A and B are shown apart, each in its own frame.
Chain A
């Protein structure tokens, strides 16, 4: 059967609530009456995007989107649109006036991101116009490798991948390691859920990373560099490859750069997206074509890295800082930040804040400033509950520490980490046990399996957390979690295992009562864990309209017209539709 037209009609609870079923019945009746039954197909769909203006339907092939429908207007639409081919524009969806768009307040300081969003990343001359490659030229013409290392050391720059090791010291180790073949590697394997700081730099200012790598190569005596990026960043890979090609054409990569006699070239290597490949030894194994698994350290990469040669490996953001440090000086860089953590840091703000996005702020800014001034505060003006920094290996920091200045040490003292810059804000409706379970699920899945405590331990922890969320928690679970956490932390080779327990430990530290409520009272205080909540109808408020019973997908609601209805908790799947469709807010969660 070939249809001349198709009608998608919305069966979203909100549309049903407003009479979508009656609209559909009238539509079918009219199609029949007009003899269009065999020409027009009607399909029920779950949501067309504007349920608050429903009932709604879309008529194809024109794609006309009708809203605010009622059975009364259907005959007119069928006649005009489907018989005469004239859409009834008065009933179509119109774009509302836009909500005001606000940019973050001026707490941002851009060093790493100074060019991102300003220059055309596909045009090397745009970068050169912004003093691009001037730092490399300065290094090659005026400075010895040792002077470069000293300058970076004095600046106080620390590894932006998360661990915060002083970059200058790392360079010094690689420089002093014996060997005539050395490598520089850029870690662009950004894998924290919701983090995309490095992608932004690679896509928006690729030459800054290349220049930083070339300076590092000069400092340690390397002539070949590798950038390791995930294949799931195709635009970053494309941009980088174009940038490398242009830099070669301009003689800024390759042999005898700027007539100095210094040779350096870079290659992009793509990773398949295993989270553990962000760990430096696993990353290098992956570049070598081996399975990405961490190995014991020492020897550190600076002594024996890629193909057993001395290797300097830094994060994208670390390299992007270097040209600015060389041009403006160590003192300028060290003037930003705290005593032990200098400069700026990029963060990806996500979660329950008004303005999500990517920011760069000076270290030492307080968590409160990031959440409220830069992020615009909590969405829907709910109450702040916690912020999770550092990705899946980080911890949750509660409200009483909001005024803590952000640096490597303070975040560590609070049981979290700086990490690469993930920043997930949670509000009062977030269940902390559920969050810990989410992150444990991630690390359990991403554990490479080499170390038994990490491979088996994270699974055991996840099972316990699943049980707690499912209402099957038992006395002793918390203690068992703590015991396992200790084993995993002590018995794992790399940061993935060592950090895996952090989300659980930090939530246990600050939100232990939530775990206890789940285990001992079988109650989820945030009303998130489905097994621990129950939808109930307030008999006094219920007007017996039958809407909930008609819309319940599993027929868990019984009752007669004008009499209070009842939900059978045994049948109920806690989907919440009854609460959405109730016209008098008689359904609540317990």
Chain B
């Protein structure tokens, strides 16, 4: 990169990509993968989510990662954003709980209320 203009362009491209991904992917799942998350099993959670998405062949779901959101006690933390709805934050989502989130929240559209961090 050789200039400020170019940096601006990359920023616009990144924002555009985000917007497109929001349009194309109906659902965005974010797994917190800081040390606290990984120590609590976030890698297994991530794998379980990806396996379940693969098994159900959900083409409109993207899974990304992020750092620690500050609620280390509730790790592994998984955030789900469906369309324009508000982001839902789930706590203590181990691999065994991943399936129910995919089934109830992402396929059927009803968040699993008992695991939501309020």
Give the residues in chain B near A128, CB-CB below 8 Å: 7, 10-11, 14
Whether B10 lies near A356 (C-beta < 8 A) is no
The chain A residue with its CB closest to the CB of B71 is A357
Partner of B68, one of A102, A204, A233: A204
Q: How many A-B residue pairs have CB under 8 A?
A: 113
Chain B, interface residues (CB within 8 Å), range: 35 or more
Check: B67 CB closer than 8 A to any chain A CB. yes
Q: A137-B4, A235-B34, A236-B35 are in contact. Are A250 and B72 (CB under 8 A)?
A: no
Interchain CB contact under 8 A, A358 and B66:
no
Contact of B115 among A101, A104, A116, A359 (CB under 8 A): A101
Considering only residues 49-92 of chain B, those with a C-beta below 8 Å from chain A are: 64-74, 89, 91-92
Whether the pair A205, B118 counts as a contact (CB closer than 8 A) is no
| Selected contact of B66 from candidates A100, A120, A196, CB within 8 Å | A120
Q: Is A588 an interface residue (CB 8 A)?
A: no
Assess whether B20 is interfacial by the CB under 8 Å rule. Answer: no
On whether the beta carbons of B68 and A117 are closer than 8 Å, the reply is yes
B47 located at the interface, meaning its Cβ lies under 8 Å from any Cβ of chain A in the complex: no
**B32 nearest CB neighbor, chain A only:** A117
Contact code string B30-55 (vs A, CB < 8 Å = 1, else 0) = 00101110100000000000000000
Q: A98-B92, A203-B34 are in contact. Are A118 and B15 (CB under 8 A)?
A: no
- Tell me which of B3, B34, B71 has the highest count of chain A C-beta atoms within 10 A of its own C-beta: B34
Q: Is A228 an interface residue (CB 8 A)?
A: no
Q: How far is the CB of A97 from chain B (nearest CB, A)?
A: 6
Instruction: Check if A408 is an interface residue, CB within 8 A of chain B.
Output: no
Nearest to A239 among chain B residues (CB) is B67
Residue of B nearest to A136 (CB): B7
Binary interface profile of B, 1-27, with partner A (CB < 8 Å = 1, else 0)? 111101100110111011000000000
User: Once the chains bind, are B35 and A102 in contact (CB under 8 Å)?
Assistant: no
Specify which chain A residues have a CB less than 8 angstroms from the CB of B64 in the assembled complex: 120
Is A397 an interface residue, CB under 8 A from the partner?
no
Q: Which of the candidate stretches A52-60, A251-259, A433-441, A497-505 sits at the interface with the other chain?
A: A251-259
Which residues in A have some Cβ–Cβ distance to B below 8 Å? 97-98, 100-104, 108, 113, 116-122, 125-126, 128-129, 131-134, 137, 141, 196, 199-200, 203-205, 233, 235-236, 250-252, 256, 258-259, 355-359
Is B1's CB under 8 angstroms from A252's CB?
A: yes
| B107 interfacial contact with A, CB 8 Å | no
For the complex formed, measure the closest distance between the CB of A434 and the CB atoms of chain B, giving whole angstroms: 25
Known: A101-B71, A120-B66; 16 extra A-B contacts, CB below 8 A, are A98-B115, A100-B118, A101-B116, A103-B89, A108-B70, A129-B11, A141-B4, A196-B35, A251-B1, A251-B2, A252-B1, A258-B2, A259-B3, A355-B71, A355-B73, A356-B73
A204 lies within 8 A of B67 (CB): yes
Partner of A103, one of B7, B68, B117: B117
Known: A101-B92, A199-B35. A122 touches B65 (CB 8 A): yes
Q: Which residue of A lies closest to B10 (CB)?
A: A128
B3-A121 in contact (CB<8A): no
- B97-110: contact bitstring with A at CB < 8 Å (1 yes, 0 no)? 00000000000000
- Cα A543 to Cα B74 in complex, Å, equals 43
Residue of B nearest to A98 (CB): B114
By a CB distance below 8 angstroms, the chain A residues around B13 are 125
Cβ–Cβ < 8 Å partners of A102 in chain B: 117-118
Chain B nearest CB, measured from A353 CB (Å): 10
C-alpha spacing A122/B31, complex, angstroms: 13
Give the distance in Å from the alpha carbon of A200 to the alpha carbon of B92 in the complex: 19
Chain A contacts for B38, CB-based, 8 A: 235
Chain A residues with CB under 8 A of B34: 199-200, 203-204, 235
Chain A's closest residue to B3 (CB) is A259
- Cα distance, A355 to B91, chains bound together (Å): 13
Checking B4, B68, B74, B115 against A203 with a beta-carbon cut-off of 8 angstroms, the contacting residue is B68
Interchain residue pairs with CB less than 8 A apart (15): A97-B114, A102-B118, A116-B70, A117-B67, A117-B68, A117-B69, A121-B65, A122-B65, A196-B36, A199-B35, A203-B68, A258-B3, A259-B3, A357-B70, A357-B73
Which residues of the partner chain A approach B91 to less than 8 Å between Cβ atoms? 101
Which residue of chain B has the shortest Cβ distance to A140 in the bound complex?
B4
What is the CB-to-nearest-CB distance from A116 to chain B, in angstroms, rounded to a whole number? 5
With a CB–CB cut-off of 8 A, which chain A residues contact B118?
A: 100-103
- Smallest CB separation, A16 vs chain B (Å): 29
Give the docked Cα–Cα distance between A329 and B64 (Å): 32
Q: Is the CB of B68 within 8 A of A258?
A: no
Roughly how many angstroms separate A157 CA and B34 CA in the complex, as a whole number?
Answer: 27
Docked CA distance A102–B91 (Å): 9
Tell me which residues across on chain A come within 8 A of B17, comparing CB atoms.
125
| Nearest opposing residue in chain A for B67, CB measure | A204
Q: Which residue of A lies closest to B79 (CB)?
A: A117
Nearest B residue (CB) for A355: B73
Contact B69 A116 (CB under 8 A): yes
CA distance A97 to B32 in the complex (A): 23
B57 to chain A, nearest CB (A): 24
Q: Which 10 A-B pairs have the closest CB atoms?
A: A204-B67, A117-B69, A251-B1, A129-B14, A125-B14, A101-B91, A101-B117, A259-B2, A358-B70, A200-B68
Q: Do A133 and B116 touch (CB < 8 A)?
A: no
- How far is the CB of B37 from the nearest CB of chain A, in Å? 10
B59 nearest CB across to chain A (Å): 21
B18: which A residues are within 8 A, CB to CB?
129
Cα–Cα, bound, A357→B72 (Å): 6
Q: Are A233 and B2 in contact (CB under 8 A)?
A: no
Cβ–Cβ < 8 Å partners of B10 in chain A: 125, 128, 250
CB closest residue in chain B, given A121: B67
CA distance A90 to B117 in the complex (A): 31
For residue A192, give the distance in angstroms from its CB to the closest CB of chain B: 16
| CA of A121 to CA of B65, assembled, Å | 8
Task: Decide: B67 and A205 in contact? CB cutoff 8 A.
Answer: yes
Shortest CB-to-CB span from B32 to chain A, Å, is 6
